[in-house]
Homo-oligomer: A and B are copies of this chain.
């Protein structure tokens, strides 16, 4: 059996998961892949805390460089997260011809181009299954399973915290702040939940999904990002009444020329598979020209699920090590231009806070009509919210620029008493 020496930088949650799985399943992995992994060293700022894992043969150090410059280490696993010093460590290790495994989506979203190019120049791999959707092997699905197909759309529920919060708001009719507190109590949300609830973490992962599905390295600022902090129970309940659920979706849609890349709260039909993805689970719905609709569902985070994804990369990279195998180094294979968000076309959910007076509907619908926006459905229950009456509309497909222009005018109407809420809709999950 071949022995492969590993180094691990970052002995936090995911690092512990990886080590536990390696220790528990050493024989299983040996039987499947004829590989024996030897964890040679772990670097972490905290080498004092007892993680409850027996590590008799493993060198613990607070100096990552010891691992980077250890010639015996074949594969280096980076699990410290964040941009620096992770970027520097990885680039130095690549320079030392080490294969890299990382769960660092933020780093790859920002510095991916630099890192992948360095890896190509040095003939090593950078594997990142654990960076997107935890245990779901979505990197392999897009890269290998769908390699022969042209992908036309990817819709991801790829932030478990946001999905947990929206699920709780839907099931328990609670407000955003309460859902956030619950997520924090359960350990799903950080003290600063901004990355999760503002959609930034989803955008990081969308950069990687786009690279895999569309062969295009986009930068973060090319992705439209809107979080869920503006979603109220009122809108979730109207969505339910209309037969929808509100999900934070990371969306990429491409044709031959143009790619849409956006993260925002989205209404999806309650009968669609994505609507049934509850709690902290993740799912990625993929549409391909030949394969049609596929969906990949599972745990998007956590010690053991993400640790298992790291181990999958370990095996893959180890099997390639020392072989002359032609690698697919996540090449860019397209040159799609990125759609301007203002040009996006979707149906919209609109909630106006309108005075309960005759003529209001006519004024609002008149402005919408002037902007080429036609109304599919109207709900008005007469429920009073702060003196105003919520007037809810579903539109047919409309252009974002038209919608923004119309809402600007509508919000200036004296009979409209607050900023109009709008949520984009995606319908087609056949």
Contacts and interface: CB of A to CB of B under 8 A. Distances in A.
B273 A145 contact: no
A308 B148 contact: yes
A137 B135 contact: no
The interface residues of chain A, by DSSP majority, are classed as mixed
Nearest to A328: B33
A195 interface: no
A26 to B, nearest CB: 10
Interface string A183-219: 0000000000000000000000000000000010000
Contact of A290 (B271, B276, B294, B305): B305
A291 B134 CA distance: 9
Interface string A285-300: 0001111111111110
A259 interface: no
A292 B297 contact: no
Contacts of A291: 135, 298-299, 304-305, 308
B304 A299 contact: no
A8 to B, nearest CB: 15
A325 B34 CA distance: 12
Contacts of A305: 290-292
Interface in A328-353: 328, 331, 333-334
A136 B145 CA distance: 8
Given A319-B326, A324-B325, 19 more contacts: A21-B149, A25-B150, A32-B331, A33-B147, A33-B326, A137-B146, A145-B309, A145-B312, A148-B312, A149-B308, A276-B276, A281-B293, A290-B304, A290-B308, A294-B297, A295-B296, A323-B323, A323-B324, A323-B325
25 contacts: A25-B149, A31-B215, A31-B331, A31-B333, A31-B334, A32-B215, A32-B328, A32-B331, A33-B147, A136-B145, A136-B294, A144-B144, A148-B314, A290-B308, A291-B299, A291-B308, A292-B298, A292-B302, A293-B298, A293-B299, A294-B297, A294-B298, A295-B297, A323-B324, A325-B325
Kindly list the 9 A-B residue pairs having the minimum CB-CB distance in the complex, ordered from nearest. Answer: A137-B145, A148-B311, A294-B298, A31-B333, A135-B291, A323-B325, A290-B304, A295-B297, A290-B308
